[in-house]
A = this chain, B = another copy of it.
Amino acid sequence: MSASSKIDSYELLLTQMEALLVSNWVSNLANASALLWEHFHTQQKPQSEVNWAGFYTYNSSKQILELGPFQGKIACQIIEIGKGVCGTSVQKKQTQLIVDVHEFPGHIACDAASNSEIVVPILSENQEVLGVIDIDCKEINGFDQVDQKYLERLASLLASKFEN
């Protein structure tokens, strides 16, 4: 699969997501998980080896990440800020593009099959964390700058419809 078709597929995903947005945050994350799963599984390796695609939402009163809608196998329900790839992404308010999760200090292994991961923070207009997009891949080096760019655009789109 060429780089342009990966880009085309992401562009389609964003167009579809925009059309699907409703006022319910959980509904949006649920359909976004389905679109992400579909997107990755129309790609070639390593992206077709994505084994988890979904969301953690930020509970500001408890200051933890809580499991949201996803596609894949059962996952950890609670992640502390600063812990693992998701918790680090929230603490730094930055995307974490992890080539090999086994080299990430304090990696939380929900699914032993995962070898690489990308986590993108979902930030409000005033830079408050609303949650994260979390994608795991069975292959090492599953994600690149193209994924980062488009997943950050997806995060912005989802943030625009946030309601608590």
Residues on A facing B (Cβ under 8 Å): 16, 20, 22, 24, 26-27, 30-31, 33-35, 38, 54, 57, 59, 66-75, 77-78
A66 contacts which of B26, B57, B74, B75 (Cβ < 8 Å)? B26
**In the complex, are the beta carbons of B27 and A68 less than 8 A apart?**
yes
How many identical chains are in the complex?
2
A22-B66, A31-B74 known, 10 other contacts, Cβ within 8 Å: A22-B78, A24-B77, A26-B57, A26-B66, A27-B78, A30-B69, A34-B72, A34-B73, A35-B74, A71-B71
Q: How far is the CA of A35 from the CA of B75 in the complex (A)?
A: 10
Known: A27-B66, A68-B27, A69-B68. A75 touches B34 (CB 8 A): yes
**Neighbouring B residues of A72 by C-beta, 8 Å:** 34
Contacts of A16 in B (CB 8 A): 74
Please determine whether B20 and A70 come into contact, CB atoms closer than 8 angstroms. Answer: no
- B77 pairs with A27, CB closer than 8 A: yes
Alpha-carbon separation in the docked complex, A139 to B68 (Å): 30
Judge whether B24 and A66 touch: CB under 8 Å.
yes
List, in ascending order, chain B residues with CB within 8 A of A75's CB: 30-31, 34
- Chain B residues within an 8 Å CB radius of A68: 26-27, 30, 69
A108 to chain B, nearest CB (A): 15
Chain B hits for A20, CB < 8 A: 74, 77
> Are B30 and A54 touching (Cβ within 8 A)?
yes
